[in-house]
Structure 1
Amino acid sequence: MHSTLRRSLLAGAAATLLLPLTACGGDSDSSSAKASTAKYKLVQNGVITAGTQAEQPPFAVTDASGNPTGFAVDLMNEAAKRLDVKVQYKTTNLQGILAGLSAGQYDIGVAGVGATPERAKQVSFTAPYYWGFTSVVTKKSGKETQLSDFDGKRVGVVSGAVQEAFIAKKMPRAKLVKFKDQTALISQLLSGGVEAIVLGGADADEYVKKQPVRIAVEQDSLQGSAFPLRRNGDPKLLKDLDAQIDAMIDDGTYVTLYKKYFHDPIAADLIKKRLHLAKQVEGTDLAPAKK
């Protein structure tokens, strides 16, 4: 059953993409690099190295020109611009982002990454910037309407994604099948390799728009999406990123970006985590329905 609060979360190594973000006021790249070198301890002096994904709509995708885009990317780019630093994106998959952070290859992951307690043992997280739902998706011809309808059926998930735990907890009689990324996941659903896949609600919405698939079941997500950073990285960077997201909430930039990618109300759980978000959405179509 669809809720009035909607949606959430959640490409093998491909390309390295460089996106220069110039300082406000017209400073040069060299002065920006010097400023950021002094500000933060980074993998590369003066540049935030970010692991992202090529196919995780609407959070992180590669556009026709080969540049990273999406809600998480736009949010990060705006925060970096305000901090007067540059971002260098390296495309990988979810496991690659987390492994790369642990190995010291990246400063941050820019995608829809669920901030689970297990992951928090390996990486540091900002406060959640998105909260939503989990969706079970089938081909459009599917008839399933409840989780028990998938007992004994092959259900796909991205390996290491938070939806893997959802299947284990909520769909224990389903036959779990893991794939490396969402491209493989949707391909196997369409070809009949699996009978359903489990995605974050926002990701599922994007596929429903573009592919002959349907959302069979939708349930609450257990945690929000956040930016993961290296645990041994610079704590000031994490603090400053959170401060900039808060500033974007206060000046309306966050809501503008949210409306660019989502049509559903902002989840009440996210408002609880970022309390001042409430005054930005109160009285708008982005406000969660009263219960």
Structure 2
Amino acid sequence: MHVPTRRTVVTTLVAAALLSTSACGSGSDAAATADNPLGLIEPGAIRVASVGDIRPYAYTDASGEFTGFDVELFRDVAGRIGVGDVTFVGQDFAAVLPAVANGQFDVGVAAIGITPERQETVDFSDGYLAGYLTVLTTPDSGITSSGDLAGRRLGVVQGTLQEAYALKNFPDAELVRFPDNNTGVSGLNSGNVDAHFLDYEAAKTYVEQFGLVDAEDIPSFDAPAGFAIAEGNTALKEALDEGLHAAMEDGTWKELYQKWFPGSPMPEQYLPSDERTSSPTPTTAS
């Protein structure tokens, strides 16, 4: 099997972007020019809106640097399309998509699930992760499944898939909205909420850190995570898609997944094509 090299991907993408620019000098791709074929805010640099506390997807380490699965994957993909200057800036999750839509950032990277509602304001790359949602609680809460949430205070991060899912499926729970998971789990530990609803991978960290209980894992595979892009920037979307698929095909995605999600079920649709089966097993998004 031929796997494209990074140099090949970069050359192909830049050439395609330039052709797209010359073919359409107005309309949705007008931001792309010969000097800025990807239509970036600053040519040759990508400014990324992210969230600093959604382990293991995106978070800041002890030195204040962004790291995590999504961060490392995006940096790899950006390198494949010829952009080494990538700056991550922390936002509340609910602010990420508006900031991309209004042109403050080139891309949003924070395990962002692709939904029809979100696609009304931004475009997305192809998906790269899919997953489970978890009801997290304390050992003495009496909550053993989502069926026990009626009449209880349930924490969610505002603007996430978990909030939307809870609104639809837990109508008798009292939702308490937080800006991020750290404050939500703090509310759980202090007794301000009875449970917190978040993604499976992030929940594992809090279970280990605070001795909390995973009451139920709920499959939610219909909104895979993607990179958010301003509407109409097809040159950047096509470049990211090709770089992303190259990272999957040459095994880079798999290596990063094993690094950041050790022991977790692997979504096989993102593996090299010769390793996939007919029954992929997905994992998560926000």
Tell me what 2:181 maps to: 182
* Separation (CA, whole Å) in 1 of partners of 2:62 and 2:218: 33
User: Cα offset for 1:193?
Assistant: 0.5
User: Cα offset for 1:228?
Assistant: 0.8
In structure 2, which of residues 261, 264, 275 is the aligned counterpart of residue 280 of structure 1?
A: 275
Name the aligned partner's letter for residue 150 of structure 2. D
User: Cα offset for 1:245?
Assistant: 1.4
Tell me what 2:36 maps to: 38
User: Is this contact kept in 2: 1:136–1:198, CA < 8 A?
Assistant: yes
* 1:148–1:44 distance in 2 versus 1, CA, 3 Å: same
Name the aligned partner's letter for residue 236 of structure 1. A
Pairwise mapping of residues 53-72 of structure 1 onto structure 2 (< 5 A)?
53-72=51-70
User: Is this contact kept in 1: 2:158–2:179, CA < 8 A?
Assistant: yes
Tell me what 1:129 maps to: 128
- Residue aligned with 1:109, SS: strand
- Residue aligned with 1:111, SS: strand
Q: TM-score normalised to the size of structure 2? A: 0.81
Tell me what 2:48 maps to: 50
User: Is this contact kept in 2: 1:265–1:287, CA < 8 A?
Assistant: no
User: Is this contact kept in 1: 2:114–2:224, CA < 8 A?
Assistant: yes
* Separation (CA, whole Å) in 1 of partners of 2:102 and 2:281: 39
* Separation (CA, whole Å) in 2 of partners of 1:60 and 1:128: 16
Unaligned runs of at least 5 residues, structure 2: 1-5, 8-32
* Separation (CA, whole Å) in 1 of partners of 2:274 and 2:134: 29
Tell me what 1:171 maps to: 170
Tell me what 1:31 maps to: none
* Separation (CA, whole Å) in 1 of partners of 2:90 and 2:34: 23
Pairwise mapping of residues 160-239 of structure 1 onto structure 2 (< 5 A)?
160-221=159-220, 222-232=222-232, 234-239=233-238
- Residue aligned with 1:66, SS: coil
User: Is this contact kept in 2: 1:37–1:46, CA < 8 A?
Assistant: no
Tell me what 1:266 maps to: 266
Corresponding pairs, count: 249
Q: TM-score normalised to the size of structure 1? A: 0.80
User: Cα offset for 1:95?
Assistant: 1.4
- Residue aligned with 2:36, SS: helix
User: Is this contact kept in 2: 1:250–1:280, CA < 8 A?
Assistant: no
User: Cα offset for 1:36?
Assistant: 9.6
Name the aligned partner's letter for residue 55 of structure 1. D
User: Cα offset for 1:241?
Assistant: 1.0
* 1:41–1:210 distance in 2 versus 1, CA, 3 Å: same
User: Is this contact kept in 1: 2:135–2:145, CA < 8 A?
Assistant: no
User: Cα offset for 1:287?
Assistant: 6.6
Name the aligned partner's letter for residue 173 of structure 2. A
Name the aligned partner's letter for residue 110 of structure 1. V
Name the aligned partner's letter for residue 180 of structure 1. P
User: Is this contact kept in 2: 1:36–1:46, CA < 8 A?
Assistant: no
| C-alpha RMSD of matched pairs (Å) | 2.4
Question: What is the percentage of aligned positions where both structures have the same residue?
Answer: 32
Name the aligned partner's letter for residue 113 of structure 2. G
User: Cα offset for 1:171?
Assistant: 1.0
* Separation (CA, whole Å) in 1 of partners of 2:173 and 2:259: 35
